[in-house]
Amino acid sequence: MFQGQIAVRLASMAGASSQNFFEGTEKLLEVWFTGGSEGSDLRDVKQESWEKLLRVVRCEIISKTSNADMDAYVLSESSMFVTQSRFILKTCGRTTLLLAVEPLMELVQEQCGFKKVLDVFYSRKKFSKPEQQHTIHQSFDEEIAHLDKMFKRAKLGLFSDGAAYTLGRINKDCWHLYTMDAVGVMEPDQTVELLMWEMCPDTMQIFTKKLCQDGQEATKKSGICDIIPGVQIDDFLFDPCGYSMNGLLPGGYYITIHVTPEPHCSYVSFESNVPQENYMELMEKVLNTFKPGKFLMTVFANKESIAKDNHKRLEDKDYVPGYTRTDHQFCTFKNYNLTYSHFTRPII
C-alpha cells in the first residue's frame, strides 16, 4: 500500500504537461484537545490507527522521528505532528484532509479520552488548480460548510461558531483561514509560514535525484540545515524529484519544509512554531535558501507568545532585500494577532 501511494504521488509529479500538474499548496489542520484525564496524551494513539486515518486523507507515513515533546511524521504528501494535546496535519496534492476531521475526533476520544476540542485552525493558500481537488476542497465555501457541520455537533464538545477569513486579493493570490470564535488556546502559541512559488530553477534542481542521492544530501547542499541550527532533522527525497523534511527542537517546537521542484508548478513551503520576537532574520534565511519569485508570509501569535507584537516589526517593511511588498493586512481576533504579507520580485 505504501509503495502504491508513493507511485501515485510520483505519477502526478512527473513530466511537464498540465495533466501531470502537482498541487504543492498544502491544506493545514491544527486541532487542540482538552477534557481528558490527567494522563491523556495524543502520542498514545497507535501508529496503525494513524495509518488508518491517513488512508482517509489519501496519504501514508514514510518515517517518524520523536523527542520528549513531539512525534513528527514525514508523509507521502507532507507532514503530521503530534504532542500531548495538539494534532497538526499538513497535506498537499489532491489529498482529502477534511474528510479526516470526524474520524480524528472519534479516534482521540476512544484512545486518549479527550472529550472536547479546545480550538481549531484550518488554513491554505489559494489553489493553482482547484478544479483538480476533491469536491470538498474545490472552494473555500465548501470547506467552511463541512467544518461548520463537523464542529457544531455537540458530541465533539464545541459550543461556539466557526469563523472564516480570507486575506489578500481574492482575484489573485490569497490565503484562507477557518477557526473557532472562542478564546481557545491560552498557553504561548505562534506559527510563521512562508509559502513560495515561481522558484529559482537552479535551486530546485537540488531537490531531484539528478543532483542528490537522498534527503540528507539535499538538506546539506541546499543549506536547509543552517536555517535553524541544532534542529533534529528527518528528511526524504522523492524519486525522481520532490522533498520533505521535519525538524524538531526541545519544548514542542518544529520546522517543516516541502518542495515541489518542477518548473511548471514549482512551490516551496516553510512552517515553524519556534517563538521569536522578530521573524525578519528567519524570513531572510529562508528566502536566501530558496530564492522564490513570489511569496506570502503569515505570522500567527496569541497574546501569551513573545511573537505577539511581531506585526509591529512588519508594518513598515514595504521592501525586503530583493522583494517589494504588494499586500499587507493585520487582524486581531480571539486571543491571536495575525499578519499577512505578500511580496514579489520586481521585474527588471
**For residue 28, is pLDDT > 50?**
yes
Domain boundaries, the chain: 25-185, 187-348
The pLDDT, as a whole number, for residue 226 is 96
Q: Tell me, what's the pLDDT at 11?
A: 38
Highest mean pLDDT of the ranges 7-16, 149-158, 265-274: 265-274
Q: At the fourth CATH level, which superfamily is domain 25-185?
A: S-adenosylmethionine decarboxylase (3.60.90.10)
Q: What span, in angstroms and rounded, lies between the C-alpha atoms of 180 and 160?
A: 7
Confidence of residue 169 (pLDDT cuts 50, 70, 90): very high
Catalytic residues: 23, 26, 78, 92, 244, 258
DSSP assigned state of 127:
P
pLDDT for residue 48 is more than 90 = yes
The model's pLDDT over 229-272, given as tens digits with 9 standing for 90+, comes to 999 999 999 999 999 999 999 999 999 999 999 999 999 999 99
CATH domain 187-348 topology: S-adenosylmethionine decarboxylase (3.60.90)
In the prediction, which pLDDT does 337 show? 93
Q: How many residues does the structure list for the chain?
A: 348
Dihedral angle, C-alpha 258, 92, 147, 64, nearest 10 °:
-60
> CA–CA separation, 267 vs 298, rounded Å?
16
What's the rounded Cα separation, in Å, for the pair 5 and 294?
A: 30
Give pLDDT, residue 115: 87
Closest CA to 24 of 244, 323, 273: 244
More confident residue, 100 or 12: 100
The rounded mean pLDDT for the chain is 91
Determine the Cα–Cα distance for residues 302 and 191; give it in Å rounded to an integer: 10
Query: Quick one: pLDDT at residue 55?
Result: 97
- The 10 Å Cβ neighbour count of residue 264 is 11
pLDDT at 99: 96
The overall pTM is greater than 0.85:
yes
What integer pLDDT is reported at residue 316 of this predicted model?
78
Q: In this structure, what C-alpha cell is assigned to residue 270?
A: 516553510
Mean pLDDT (whole number) for 329-333 = 91
DSSP H or E run through 118: strand 116-125
Cα dihedral sign, 11-57-85-146? positive
